[in-house]
Structure 1
């Protein structure tokens, strides 16, 4: 898919500094900024988030090393084809050259096994496990900020979430190596609750805003955060899960590591009752996350059609 039309950097989603977040007045300021970003963009970047920058760098390095391994090594953990299912492992680029993006998808949590995870490079497992553990804490912090922005107790949104995180890492070939009309990650909204994206500082994430595609400029040592469909539902539409897509760079390889936070499959998700009254009726259906995600597995990346179908 060709890159969308870009707008000036001043019109990009905000970059929000999380420093001094434990100070009450500073925290209120951060909550206001994040709440406004979720209402107007559905996206924002965070800096001074407290995650170890050395760990972030090592994580980018081990994923890059994995994608640079010989094909036979990567294909040893190729994801099985499961009709209507969600398999884990390595996904190769399409043979027709129309999509040269390869990716790795795995689940990380207390009850998840290591099938489909890379054994090379040697430090891969320990590095990524440490990274996901750190990301679990960061996602909890952000969910707390989102809850406060809705006027809810800090733990409200976290109570709907599970303890397993999905990690999808995309490796994009430069466009100079692709066919003219090659595409990569199609426009979509995320079916889960929250996505935190780490990149190798090569731009390519685009967000749909006012019918225009806005390319986000990566900030070193930052995370790009976006609202998923479940947060839109829980917030009764106050926070937006918006269309976004990933595109390659012209000359550089691009790496993105997306960590997904989502509810347990059995969790019943609907607008938070504390947000509802006679003036604010529920705008979305209530259903289990397994039902919602099952529809996603069947339909795939289909714009915002799933969240639109969830509306009453």
Structure 2
């Protein structure tokens, strides 16, 4: 590589000029105080929005800042170095796709459907297996382990309240949300050079029970409500919690799996840390609106639909009367592996 400039940006992101002109509205996102959980308000927010800001969450600001800084340093490495350093679970590097399969393999996408992002996929329950003498990698692992513990605490506490609100059988708690499934994805949405805003991740819902987002001050997240896109303004030391497809199924569609997307901006990279938690693979989800299914069945169906139709179909596949699904041109949905 002597004499060759090594770029920290994946090849197709070095000269991007695709444009996107969205319709935006002011930030109206509701806020939930973790220390003073208002059950009625949480029920209303889950039903009407499926997403909320979380304040007083107890995550030390210093931990979030150190994790963000460490991730930025790692993403600034040459692509070849990132591919060599993070080449398999529990930490795997990817770019152009917002997710990996559980084995750490990136979803195949054509060049025209690549997203303006790169990321690290982290299986939290396998982090203790990550060994090595690299001090940077060891420090990063310790930060992720601590951060994952906070995420599991928040997810479990919120989910237990939601279970009570929905009147679900408490014996299902461990099956419906399993901390052992927790994953973190660290994303860098790489800036565009010539356009004001382009798509960093297209509109999708998450396949999770809950997703918890910790983002920097750049912004770009939007949620879809009442037939319009609402721009989510970054606020220091707050988290964004959104419900996923599994929560919608568990609630018999009373709660929403919120549709959202990410735009990237001219001249500014965006960093985000996303935690996702799922049901046990083989635990059966019971719902009057859907046929009994396991998360493993759901995930497999999503992967089959990506190959067959080019997009995620999701919960529609498990309705008692499944609507006819038409094949479409391959435009992979970023919620495919969520």
**Unaligned stretches of 5+ residues in structure 1:** 22-26, 272-281
1:305, CA displacement in angstroms?
A: 2.5
Q: Could you say which residue in structure 2 is the equivalent of 1:309?
A: 317
SS class of match (2:230): strand
Q: Could you say which residue in structure 1 is the equivalent of 2:303?
A: 297
Matched, 1:69 2:87: no
1:98, CA displacement in angstroms?
A: 5.7
Question: Relative to 1, partners in 2 of residues 1:80 and 1:216: Cα closer, same or farther, differing over 3 Å?
Answer: closer
Q: Could you say which residue in structure 1 is the equivalent of 2:20?
A: 2
Q: TM-score, normalised by structure 2?
A: 0.75
Question: What RMSD over aligned residues (CA atoms) do the two structures have, in Å?
Answer: 3.2
* Structure 1 residues 76-123: Cα deviation after superposition (integer angstroms, max 9, x where no partner): 124599xx94442889998779633111112111698449xx974551
Separation of aligned partners in 2, 1:146 and 1:303: 30
The more displaced of 293-302 and 84-93 is 84-93
Separation of aligned partners in 2, 1:261 and 1:135: 9
SS class of match (1:297): helix
Task: Please give the residue correspondences for 1:176-255 in structure 2 after superposition, counting only pairs within 5 Å.
Answer: 177=193, 182-255=198-271
Separation of aligned partners in 1, 2:274 and 2:283: 22
CA contact (8 A) 1:65 1:121 kept: no
**Unaligned stretches of 5+ residues in structure 2:** 1-18, 95-99, 321-338
Question: Relative to 1, partners in 2 of residues 1:139 and 1:80: Cα closer, same or farther, differing over 3 Å?
Answer: closer
Question: Relative to 1, partners in 2 of residues 1:181 and 1:98: Cα closer, same or farther, differing over 3 Å?
Answer: farther
* Structure 1 residues 16-54: Cα deviation after superposition (integer angstroms, max 9, x where no partner): 2223x3xxxxx4xx2222211111111101000112221
Q: Could you say which residue in structure 2 is the equivalent of 1:168?
A: 185
1:64, CA displacement in angstroms?
A: 1.4
Separation of aligned partners in 2, 1:98 and 1:179: 17
Q: TM-score, normalised by structure 1?
A: 0.81
CA contact (8 A) 2:305 2:313 kept: no
Query: How many residues of Structure 1 are paired with residues of Structure 2 in the alignment?
Result: 287
1:13, CA displacement in angstroms?
A: 2.0
* Structure 1 residues 131-190: Cα deviation after superposition (integer angstroms, max 9, x where no partner): 111111111111122123224477754442222311111101223x26688532121111
Task: Please give the residue correspondences for 1:1-312 in structure 2 after superposition, counting only pairs within 5 Å.
Answer: 2=20, 4-9=22-27, 12-19=28-35, 21=36, 27=37, 30-76=38-84, 77-78=86-87, 85-88=101-104, 99-109=115-125, 113-114=129-130, 120-152=136-168, 156-162=172-178, 163-175=180-192, 177=193, 182-271=198-287, 282-300=288-306, 305-312=313-320
Segments of 4+ moved more than 3 angstroms:
78-81, 84-87, 89-99, 110-115, 118-122, 151-159, 178-182, 298-304
SS class of match (1:164): strand
1:191, CA displacement in angstroms?
A: 0.9
Separation of aligned partners in 1, 2:240 and 2:29: 9
